[in-house]
Amino acid sequence: MQEFVTFAWWVFAIRWLHVLSGVMWIGLLWYFNFVQTPSMPKIPEAQRPAITGFIAPTALFWFRWGAMSTIITGLIVAHMSGYLLGAIKLGIGDHDPHTTAIGFGMWMGAIMWFNVWFLIWPNQKKVLGIVAAQPDERRRAGRIAGLTSRVNTMLSIPMLYAMVSSGRPFF
């Protein structure tokens, strides 16, 4: 009995870290898309370096590591809870709608994670001047990062719905 209680506590603890990481990640995603991006044209040109030089790099640090922590803790929770492989295959053959729902959420989260690390961040480094780029290349990088971020914002709604509606038990 003690082993079950200890295991259940670890599942809960990792799930809690998963939720906290997800709140950080999606919170920053929504901040970028609903606050910072629409506000930038309204900020006087002289004040924009404060955003691009200080706020955006720090926010992007927490954004990408929030994404990493969310996916890692999510995979650990799924493994510990016994539905990782079923969710990866979207419940095909399992006849379990909960596994299918959580699987869709996991796949959308994985796509979003990929977008953060392999599309948004590399392009944002060019936009922010962390990596040298010509003006045309910076504009293109900004467009790719912005569009990919909007895709992630759109995916975040069904991803959250799929994960919450799966009705997966905590243990």
Spans of all domains in the chain: 2-165
- Does the pTM exceed 0.85? yes
pLDDT at site 143? 98
Would you give the distance in Å from CA 94 to the centre of its chain? 27
Task: Identify which has the larger pLDDT, 15 or 2.
Answer: 15
> Is the pLDDT confidence value at 92 over 80?
yes
